A and B are shown apart, each in its own frame.
Chain A
């Protein structure tokens, strides 16, 4: 690989040719702030927060789009650069309603963080008059353009990673706005939720389902059970300052019990059931010559297939996903009681799935779970300390559960089938290319499992929020899956 030598802030750095200034800096521990950059997904160059000075250039260079060159001298933190960033942020704030105290992302917002860092005077360019551009048309996702910073991450991820393109940019000049002209309900949105996961602020949020859960918990006649998707174990800690990939199952279970859940199960316990169901369905499909059998783990991917490849709809497995099976086992277990089953996932599309097939009474995403934990009589300021001090406890067990809890690296069930002709794909952009080939008959897998989010459920639409430089097609899922894999092995040896 061709290497390029350059200096960033006086530090001599070597990086492969074609690397951007931002990536080269990041991999050498130099932090350059940004709002629009989304690793591997966005073209960047929009927010201009990441501008740097470079010797020999009169203009500032955007670190996220400028490739490094031999002998380059870049300065990422000069007074002039700081001034440009501060002014930029002040202008953004002059077009932002600043309702941080009621915003779902307050305290977990990239803009808020930057404003603090750069000492931004919110009112210097006059008070913002709200436009009330709020899109409530969709049943699950809300867009509030009074908070939007027009970084276009949502636009990029929807188009470039998911191949959907439900979010457009409208108008031009100071009247430019994102996604409001065509209400989300009228678009081809498949509810993968990646836009929500990638939004640096609170412009895109999930409609809050925690209230029904609180209500059920308060109702003493009801038994409230949590069914935790394995991905949640490795993401929940991120909301309390733990690095990505830390497995926090023990603390999560303790916390859920403290909140008032009567039972806490791991969905991984249902994997064996799903595997055997899918294998027999595959057997039938093979006999009938109706291949590929398409796995039903991901509701967003199924929606995509129904929309764009309706001729493949008949191939979708009629079985249940692991999460569904776990919820079903939970109902069997507690039969006789008045049960309220809460599915805890890293997925936003699960919310759409339960509406069609009410196997759970509520679905919560990771940010919602974190919000519940923070609200559970724990003040936000001390949530982290409480979290740190928690003891770890064990999951409840189903009576008839298999001795092995299984989880695949991506969150799907496919790889566990051990099927030689199986095809397992994550990210709809990638998947679309395969679907085309399957449609044309050029590719004939026996089993097909598509997970809509790039990297799979561990980079799902209901994940904990991460900054743009952390997001990528695979990196984030990869580091989270490390936590997952360890716990899987650990549990295996314990129970064998």
Chain B
């Protein structure tokens, strides 16, 4: 894997304090953190494997498996909640035919529930990859998905 060489080079400039950075770099190379990369981080940074995995498991934006090309995060924090984000969420679940936390069979969409997106003035807000949308009412969901399908 050419990526592994590239990654190994990146790690040679890293110290123990760069563990999170290294995990993010792996994710930007592969889209997730493959076990090989995790082991390599442990070896190069001289951090026990249990600690690498432990840090990885703490942060919600670090993935152990390949996420979808399109991650839809529906904010379920309190401001969006009073703006009925629950309904928006269930509309997404219905339209994609899955439950929050799951990925569509074609690997295109993954639906996630998230904490506050900091867009409470646009409640209910959603984030698609790193782009914000809001307010997203249940009736907007199908249209949004159509637009995303086209991309």
The answer to whether A and B touch directly, with their CB atoms under 8 angstroms apart, is yes
Residues 31-82 (chain B) with a chain A CB within 8 angstroms: 47-51, 53-54, 57-58
Contact A181 B48 (CB under 8 A): no
Query: CB < 8 Å: which of A165, A171, A172, A186 contacts B51?
Result: A165
Judge whether A164 is part of the interface by a CB distance below 8 angstroms.
yes
Whether B53 and A165, one on each chain, are in contact in the complex, defined by CB atoms closer than 8 angstroms, is no
User: Could you say which residues of chain A place their CB within 8 Å of the CB of B48?
Assistant: 164-166, 168, 187-188
Name B's interface SS. helix
Cα A186 to Cα B48 in complex, Å, equals 11
User: Does A179 belong to the interface (CB within 8 Å)?
Assistant: yes
Residue in A closest to B48 when the chains form the complex, CB atoms: A165
Q: Which DSSP category, helix, strand, loop or mixed, fits chain A's interface? A: loop
Contacting residues, chain A, for B51 (C-beta < 8 A): 165, 168
A179 contacts B50, C-beta separation under 8 Å? yes
| Cβ-defined contact, A182 with B49, below 8 A | yes
A170 close to B (CB within 8 Å): yes
Let me know if A167 is at the binding interface, CB within 8 A. yes
A181's closest neighbor in chain B, by CB?
B53
> Given the complex of chains A and B, what is the CA–CA distance between A187 and B47 in angstroms?
11
* A169 contacts the other chain (CB 8 A): yes
For A164, list chain B residues within 8 Å (CB). Answer: 48
Q: Mark A144-166, 1 if CB is under 8 A from B, else 0.
A: 00000000000000000000111
B58 touches A167 (CB 8 A): no
B57 touching A188 by the CB < 8 A rule? no
Q: Is the CB of A171 within 8 A of B50?
A: no
Interchain CB contact under 8 A, B58 and A166: no
Contact of B49 among A171, A172, A179, A188 (CB under 8 A): A188
Give the chain B neighbours of A182 by CB distance below 8 A: 49-50, 53
**What interface size band does chain B fall in?**
under 10
Which A residues are CB-close (under 8 A) to B49? Answer: 182, 186-188
Q: Bound state CA distance, A167 and B54, in angstroms?
A: 9
Question: Please, which residues of chain B bring their CB within 8 A of the CB of A171?
Answer: 57-58
Q: Kindly state the separation between the CA atoms of A169 and B58 in the bound complex, as whole angstroms.
A: 9
Q: In the complex, A172→B59 CA distance in Å?
A: 8
Complex-state Cα separation, A436 to B22, whole angstroms: 26
**Nearest chain B CB to A306 CB, angstrom units:** 16
**Are A166 and B57 neighbours in the complex by a CB distance under 8 Å?**
no
Q: What is the 8 Å Cβ interface bit string for chain A, positions 172-184, against chain B (1 contact, 0 not)?
A: 1000000101100
What B residues does A187 contact at CB under 8 A?
48-50
Over the window 350-374 of chain A, the binary record of Cβ atoms lying under 8 Å from chain B Cβ atoms (1 yes, 0 no) is 0000000000000000000000000
Task: Please name all residues of chain A whose beta carbon is closer than 8 Å to the beta carbon of B53 when the two chains form the complex.
Answer: 168, 170, 181-182
Minimum distance in angstroms from A393 CB to a CB of chain B: 46
Question: Which residues of the partner chain A approach B54 to less than 8 Å between Cβ atoms?
Answer: 168-170, 181
- With both beta carbons as reference points, the residue of chain B lying nearest to A163 in the complex is identified as B48
Chain A residue with Cβ nearest B47: A165
Which interface residue of B47, B50, B53, B58 has the most chain A CB atoms within 10 A? B50
Contact of B58 among A165, A172, A179, A188 (CB under 8 A): A172
Question: Smallest CB-CB separation from A308: which chain B residue?
Answer: B46
A188 to B50, CA, bound (A): 9
Q: Which residue of B lies closest to A188 (CB)?
A: B48
The distance in angstroms between the C-alpha atoms of A164 and B49, with both chains bound, is 10
Nearest to B38 among chain A residues (CB) is A182
Question: Residues of A contacting B50 with CB < 8 Å?
Answer: 165-168, 179, 182, 187
Query: Nearest chain-A residue to B53 (Cβ)?
Result: A182
Chain B hits for A181, CB < 8 A: 53-54, 57
Contact string against A for B residues 67-101, beta-carbon threshold 8 Å, 1 for contact and 0 otherwise: 00000000000000000000000000000000000
State the CA gap A164–B47 with chains docked (Å).
9
Give residues 26-43 of A contacting B (CB, 8 Å): none
Give the CA-CA distance A187 to B50 in the complex, in Å: 7
Nearest opposing residue in chain B for A165, CB measure: B48
Measured between C-beta atoms, what is the minimum distance from A250 to chain B in Å?
A: 44
Q: Closest CB of chain A to B42's CB: distance in Å?
A: 9
CB distance from A311 to the nearest CB of B (A): 16
In Å, the complex CA distance between A168 and B58 comes to 11
Q: How far is the CB of A44 from the nearest CB of chain B, in Å?
A: 19
* Complexed CA–CA distance, A272 and B49 (Å): 42
Smallest Cβ-Cβ distance to B58: which chain A residue:
A172
Complex CA distance for A411 and B50, rounded to whole angstroms: 31
Residue from B47, B48, B51, B58 with most neighbouring chain A CB atoms (10 Å): B48
Query: How many angstroms between the C-alpha atoms of A171 and B64 in the bound complex?
Result: 12
In the bound complex, residues from chain B placing their C-beta under 8 Å from that of A170 are 53-54, 57
Separation in Å of the A88 CB from the closest CB of chain B?
A: 24
Known: A187-B49, A188-B49. 9 other contacts (CB 8 A): A165-B48, A166-B48, A168-B50, A168-B54, A172-B57, A172-B58, A179-B50, A182-B49, A182-B53
Pairs A-B, 5 closest by C-beta atoms:
A168-B54, A168-B50, A165-B48, A170-B57, A182-B50
- Give 18 A-B contacts (CB < 8 Å), ordered by A residue: A164-B48, A165-B51, A167-B50, A168-B48, A168-B50, A168-B51, A168-B53, A168-B54, A169-B54, A170-B57, A171-B57, A172-B58, A181-B54, A181-B57, A182-B50, A186-B49, A187-B50, A188-B48
